[in-house]
Structures are given as C-alpha cells and as structure tokens.
Structure 1
Amino acid sequence: MSKRVTFPHSRRPSMSRASGVVVAAGLGASMVFGAGAAFASSGTADTAAIAGVATADSVAKQATAQSKAAAKAKTDKADKAEAAKKAAAKKKASWEAPVSHYVLSATYGTGGDRWASKHSGQDFAVPIGTKVEAAHTGRVVKAGPNGGGDGPAYGNAIVIKHANGKYSQYAHLSKIEVKVGDRVNTGDEIARSGNTGNSSGPHLHFEIRTSPNYGSALDPVAYLRTVHVKV
C-alpha cells in the first residue's frame, strides 16, 4: 500500500490566488501596453494633424500670395493702360516743332530778292533727309510736287488741316511719306527735309495758315508760342 502524502495547508498553492496573480499581471500588462499603444496612436494622430495644419497653412499662404500678385499685376496693367491713354490724349491735343536739332534761319515777314513778297513762314535749317513730323493732329489736304498745288517755289510740299481751323505747311521736302486724305497725329513722321523748289540751301519751310492755300499765312513762331511750343 502506498502512503498518501499530505501537505500542510499553509504550503499548498492556492489556485484562486495564483489565478488572481496571473489575471492581475495580465491586466497590468494590458494596461501598460494599452496605454503605450494609446500613446503611440495618439502621437501618430497628433503628428498627422500638425502636418495637415502646416500643409493647409502653407497652401493658404501660397494662395494669398498668388492672389496679391494677381491683384498687383491687374493694378499695374490698369495703371499702364491709363498712363498710355493719357499720353495718347496729350499727344493728340498738343503741338510740337516740326523738326528737332535745327537752326532758325529766315523768319516770317523777311523781305528780299528771294521772295516775290515777304517771307510767309519760318525756315528751319537742317540737313537733307532730316525727319519731318506733323506739328499737330490733322488730315492731309495737300501733298506732292509743285508745292502740293501752291506753286513750284515750294518744291515738294504738304499741307495738313487741323481741328481748330488752322493749317500747317511743310515745304522744300526731299521725300513725301503721306498722301491726301491721310490722318496723322502729333509727332508722326510725314516727310524728309530737302532742298527742292526755290531754296537757297537744305532746310524746312514751315507755315501756319488760316486756309489751305498760299496767301493766308500767320507768323508760325508766334502761333506756336500760343500753343506752348517755343522754337
């Protein structure tokens, strides 16, 4: 017969206690790891949120910058258009001398053997081929040889009618670059200076008239002064 071995009550393991320890340990581990997992999860979410906010902020700033740039470009374009419009209006309204870099020679009203009567315009001494510009906006009413119809003394000539009832005449030209009916603006090139007709040397003969025809000339220098042009 085998002997039955018995353990003192105090030394016998308690299954319920052991189970409790295991369960407690499990819960503790679960809590610790759960917290870690939760922390990790929270950290990932926060990082993504921060990145999302940063990206959104960057996009918003870029959009604002682009909007400002577009608005500035639009304003600049409008300013340039307005400046061009004002410049065009000013050019249309203003008068100017018909040539640049000149020397004044024979003046209006001068008498002498060169003219059948007193000199009817102002002479601008310039080299042959100098650019001749319209002194004011208007329409060409005469253009051609024989003074454009005013006589051979003028050589090649042009007459322009202006809105205020005045006419400007350009004579002794080497080249005519407009034709009757053309509309020109202040400063437009209309011809090249020359020495044609009754001319004692290269120059531009310039008149201001009250009609398109010879015999209606005014003192051109005095007239230009009234429209704020000094020659």
Structure 2
Amino acid sequence: MSKRVSFQHSRRPSLSRVRGAVVAAGLGTTMVFGAGAAFAAGTAGAPQVANLIDGAAADSVARQAAAQGKAAETAKAERAAAERAAAKKAAGWERPVSRYELSASYGNDGSRWAHKHSGQDFAVPVGTKVEAAHSGTVVKAGPNGGGDGPAYGNAVVIKHGNGTYSQYAHLSQIDVRIGQTVKTGDRIALSGNTGNSSGPHLHFEIRHTADYGSAVNPVSFLHQKGVKV
C-alpha cells in the first residue's frame, strides 16, 4: 500500500510545476501578441513620424539659411563701411605723426632760422613713424632737404591736389622715392635729428609750391581740413 502510493505520487506532476508552465506559457503569449501589437502600431504611425522628422529637418535648414543670409548681409555691410572709411581717409588729411609734443610753431623768430620759422615742429623720438598727411606724389626725397638746402637735413616733399604740397624734414630714414604715389597714412619716413636741428623732431610744412619760401601755417591749414593738432 505504501509502495503503490509512493509510485503514483512520483508519476503525478506537482501542482506548482503545472502552474509555472501555465504562467510561462501565458507570458510568452503576451510577449508575442504585445510585440505584434507594438509593430502594428509603429507601422500605422510611421507616416506621421516621417512627417514630423521631415518638418523638423526643413525647419532646421530654413533657420540655417536665414542665419547664413544674415551673416552675409552683415559681412557685406561691414565691407562697405570699411571701404567708405578708407575712401574718406584717403580724401581727408591727417597729422604726420600720432604721438608728439608741439615745439617751435610757424612764424617763430629765432637764431636757428635765417628767416621766421616756416613750419610746425613735432617733438618726437628718433625713429618715430612719419606718415603722409594726404594722398599725393613724392616730388622730393633725399639729403640736403631734398634740394631745399642742408638746414632741412633729410627731407621729403609730396605734391597734392589744388596746388598744395607737404614737406617733412630732419628725417633719420626716407622710405619713399621721387615719383612714388602715396596714400593718406602711408609710412614715408622715420623722424630724426638731421640738418639744422636742436633735438629730435619732425619739421612739417604746407606749401603752395614744392620749393622753400611758399609755406603757410600748417596748423591752421589742418584745422581747416578738420584735423585737430
């Protein structure tokens, strides 16, 4: 009796095992149907997703195009402004040196000059950059005042429009040659202490001809051109 019961018990599936199999089968079915349902839903919504993606991409491209167009317009405006500034500078006048102290003025008397002082002196260290005060053509450049006499030392004279000339004297170095065209602000020389000079400075003149004896007050002239000295 006890043996038969033991035999039958060993052949009968346990209730827990049966329940586990049923649960596993149920989960498998749920997973299968769940995946299918998800796939079906994804297939049905694919056009909508694609439309959303296409719309976002188009919007991004439009924003990039707008930004690039704005950047191009800004760059064009900046170039135009720079060209206008360059043209204005070329048409205008400027001081021959940037940092300086005014020393001997036009018309001063003194033993250093045979007559009254014919220009404006800008006290600057030797080697200071000297710039063309206005666009023009170099008509004198060299020692002996470029032909105006040894008192000027190394000198440059530039011819401008309307019968106006500018002269730069006592230079330590000349960086232009006769016949060369220069623009406002171009470096033409370095200041020095050559010729009849009591110390490092730039002697600057405005003339009506290329030669000595036709000078006018250079400070008043620059003021009339809107240049503060």
TM-score by length of 1: 0.80
SS in 1 for 2:145: helix
1:201-220 per-residue CA deviation (whole Å, 9 max, x = no partner) reads 11100000001111110011
Q: Distance in 2 between matches of 1:82 and 1:152?
A: 46
> What's the CA shift for 1:162?
1.0
SS in 2 for 1:195: coil
1:111-132 per-residue CA deviation (whole Å, 9 max, x = no partner) reads 2221111111011111111111
> What's the CA shift for 1:183?
1.5
Q: Distance in 1 between matches of 2:172 and 2:120?
A: 18
SS in 2 for 1:109: coil
**What is the match of residue 95 of structure 1?**
93
Q: Distance in 2 between matches of 1:170 and 1:60?
A: 64
Residue 105 (structure 1) aligned with residue 103 (structure 2): yes
> What's the CA shift for 1:67?
1.0
**What is the match of residue 164 of structure 2?**
166
> What's the CA shift for 1:104?
1.0
**What is the match of residue 77 of structure 2?**
79
- Letter of the 1:211 partner, please give it: T
**What is the match of residue 58 of structure 2?**
60
1:141-166 per-residue CA deviation (whole Å, 9 max, x = no partner) reads 11111111111110000011112321
Distance 1:100 1:49, change over 3 A: same
> What's the CA shift for 1:134?
0.9
Gaps of 5+ in 1: 1-38
Q: Which has the larger radius of gyration?
A: 1
Q: Distance in 2 between matches of 1:51 and 1:163?
A: 72
- Letter of the 1:88 partner, please give it: A
Residue 129 (structure 1) aligned with residue 98 (structure 2): no
Distance 1:40 1:102, change over 3 A: closer
1:78-127 per-residue CA deviation (whole Å, 9 max, x = no partner) reads 11111111111111112111112211111111122211111110111111
RMSD of the alignment, in Å? Answer: 1.8
* 1:215 corresponds to which of 207, 213, 216: 213
After TM superposition, the structure 1 stretch with the greater mean CA deviation from structure 2, 203-212 or 111-120, is 111-120
> What's the CA shift for 1:181?
1.6
> What's the CA shift for 1:178?
0.9
Aligned length, in residue pairs? 195
SS in 2 for 1:89: helix
SS in 1 for 2:158: strand
SS in 2 for 1:228: coil
Q: Distance in 2 between matches of 1:86 and 1:46?
A: 62
* 2:196 corresponds to which of 195, 198, 204: 198
Q: Distance in 2 between matches of 1:63 and 1:230?
A: 52
Gaps of 5+ in 2: 1-36
> What's the CA shift for 1:226?
0.5
Q: Distance in 2 between matches of 1:49 and 1:170?
A: 80
